[in-house]
Amino acid sequence: MIRHLPVDFFWLAAVETLAVLIGLKIFHYSVDFKSELLKLLASFGLGLAVISCSVLMLAHFNLLYRWVFLVFFGIVFILVSGQIRPLLAILKNLKDRLAAQNFSGFDKLLLLLLAAAVLSDFIFAFTPATQARELHYNLAMPKLLLRQGGLIGHFDEHAKHFPFLLENVYTLALSLAGPVLAKLIHYSLGVFSCVLVFHLARTFVGVSAGVPAAVFFYLMPLVTSVSGTANVELGTLYFGLLSVCFLLLWMEGKDSIVCAALAGLMAGFSWQSKITGLAMVPAGLAFIIAMGGLNKPSFIPALKTAVLFGCFAALGCSPWLLKNIYYSGNPLFPFPVDFLGWKGQEYAVLEIARQAAFRANFSFWEVLKLHNNVLMGDILFGPGPLVFAFAVPGILLNRSRNSWALLSLSALLFAFHNILFNTYFHRFFDTRFYILMYSLLCILAAKGWVDLKTHFKPVLLNGMVLAGLVVPGFLLSLVFGVTKIPVFIGRESEEQFLERKLVNHSLVKAINEIVSPNSKIVYLGTDPQWFYMDAQAVLPPVYMHRLEDPEEVVEGLRKIRATHVLIFEGMFKRKDGDNILHHPGFSEMDLYWNLERLKATYFREVYRNDKAVLYEVSYLDNSNKV
């Protein structure tokens, strides 16, 4: 894969430079930043959101083609090229300021550890996509959009209707260079989030907390585990951190109206990146009302600021909301809002009902016990051993208004996520939903480590910190990176890598050889990781699972223009006394089809392995054969 590095790196630099230039152009007319670093980071975030919105606009007009992207964004680049000189000046000033920093010996060691982890995660990112969520919808939706050349109203799966800020950017990435570019964009958001944590710690906690906060953050196992994927967690995090930064600036009274508006806008971008980013909106509203009300005799100014924050948050998420209104009438589609009469996508309704039934089986005490995973996580998805251990002294020692503000925002994020989304409670991988909370606690942990140095020997504390960073975070980063070196340098082919990592890749390869790319395959039982499938794979409407009559089944397949049916027989179970294929998770997805009659009339088996069987559908009337 390394031979593709120059091309992918060129497009990565081009897309992200364009994003920064767009942001600088917009901020040039409206905002006077006191910090050049914050201006650069905020410009990148705003520009990325503008690129996403532009892709959505092109999708609406069915213009998702590579040549259109090149022409459109080429024109945009010409329009914002006047910001190249200011950008170079900012980079030069930041370089000079960095060179003038007098880091301690231990800080330099931490930075060396950070650099090694960043390099290892880059190797992790520069490999073919294999993670389940990126194949299921983060990359699958962009591929589907490019396949169609534009936007459609209703996808067959609710996951493809989720907020899409980064997926739109990934659509551009897939068109320009492929899925690795999308992974690199997500990886870079992790690096920029690290810089943002550094800025937050130095600005609002103390200069000495900057480096440890950044390293605590980046070496969290949770960050490492998603940095090499094309998921969206790091995008949601990045915009959430920007929102927090502007909220703290608002609290300090610096350009309060502008900062409140930008905090709301970034919270909206966080929401548009992932549905769980919505928690940042009520958290920000509550923070403004609480902090504003405490400092002034009247709550009215705080309420006005909260309204401003909320309006700009809605503006930040408006592309997703407006798209949903246009195609479904429900701004929150695929999620139903029953009391307003807003209908959801049928598979989303099933999932919500399943979670409600699951939740009903737990007592309040059991729910509390299930929250312990938020504190510890696991070796892949937890915050690591340092965050909570040092955050406690960071809160209690040398208390300041800013540290309490960070704690308050962390608590509000936790509370509102639980109110809005706590359905399965805390399975080990659900800790990724708390990544913004963990990031703020990293800043408090860095403060706690600095404060404890006045009470304990620095050598002892440094040793504890180093051990907690190396195990598990740094070692996990090395494992993810080093194990990818063979495919990175070309010793292992991409096909060999995918065959080794994906359980269904041999099935996908076989189907690609048999089935025309213009076909549409209905799959039943599990996701076939169809991102690598040439043909389009879709779920059938829910009602079709209950059909028994072959004529009705075929008529349903005809309506969605299916050419093939792929059944993962191993995922279903049979019970004595019936011919129903029982789904392990949803009874609504039990398959009632009379497969014997279908095989004798309309279905022709074209491929079978130990996991699944593929049928070609014939729409000729073959009932006389039965």
Q: What is the pLDDT of residue 153?
A: 63
Q: What is the pLDDT of residue 301?
A: 86
Distance CA 209, CA 195 (A): 13
Instruction: Tell me if residue 565 falls in helix, strand or coil.
Output: strand
Distance CA 393, CA 415 (A): 22
Structure tokens at 488: 């990175």
Dump pLDDT digits (tens) for 548-577.
Answer: 999 999 999 999 999 999 999 888 988 877
Distance CA 399, CA 404 (A): 7
pLDDT category of residue 288 using cuts at 50, 70 and 90: very high
Q: Is the pLDDT of residue 623 over 60?
A: no
- What 83-87 contacts at long range (C-beta under 8 Å, 24+ apart), as own/partner pairs, is 83/20, 83/21, 83/24, 83/25, 83/28, 84/21, 86/24, 86/28, 87/17, 87/20, 87/21, 87/24, 87/40
pLDDT category of residue 615 using cuts at 50, 70 and 90: very high
HEC states along 385-412?
A: CCHHHHHHHHHHCCCCHHHHHHHHHHHH
Q: Is the pLDDT of residue 625 over 70?
A: no
Dump pLDDT digits (tens) for 168-203.
Answer: 999 999 999 999 999 999 999 999 999 999 999 999
393, 239 Cβ separation under 8 angstroms:
no
Q: Is the pLDDT of residue 423 over 60?
A: no
Q: What is the pLDDT of residue 377?
A: 61
Reference 226, options 134, 164, 161, 159; nearest CA is 134
Q: What are the residues whose beta carbons fall under 8 Å from the beta carbon of 621, sequence distance 6 or more? A: none
395, 407 Cβ separation under 8 angstroms:
yes
Dump pLDDT digits (tens) for 235-281.
Answer: 999 999 999 999 999 998 877 899 999 999 999 999 999 999 999 99
42, 20 Cβ separation under 8 angstroms:
no
- Start and end residues for every CATH 3.40.50 domain found in the chain: 502-625
> Which of 131-145, 300-314, 326-340, 372-386 comes out lowest in average pLDDT?
372-386
Dump pLDDT digits (tens) for 61-119.
Answer: 999 999 999 999 999 999 999 999 999 999 999 999 999 999 999 999 999 999 999 99
Reference 236, options 164, 322, 170; nearest CA is 164
Q: Is the pLDDT of residue 365 over 90?
A: no
> How far are the Cα atoms of 34, 316, 325, 337 from residue 329, in angstroms, in the given order?
42, 19, 4, 11
Q: What are phi and psi of 24, to 5 degrees?
A: -60, -40
Dump pLDDT digits (tens) for 396-417.
Answer: 999 899 999 999 999 999 999 9
Dump pLDDT digits (tens) for 320-348.
Answer: 999 999 988 999 999 998 888 999 989 88
Q: What is the pLDDT of residue 589?
A: 87
Counting beta carbons within 10 angstroms of the beta carbon of residue 395, is it exposed (0 to 12), middle (13 to 18) or buried (19 or more)? buried
Residues in the chain: 626
Q: Is the pLDDT of residue 136 over 50?
A: yes
| Alpha-helical runs (H) found in 542-594 | 550-559
Does 584 or 288 have the greater pLDDT score? 288
Mean pLDDT, residues 230-234 taken together: 96
> Which of 131-135, 335-339, 424-428, 619-623 comes out lowest in average pLDDT?
424-428
Q: Report whether CATH 3.40.50 matches the domain 502-625.
A: yes
DSSP string, 255-269: SHHHHHHHHHHHHHH
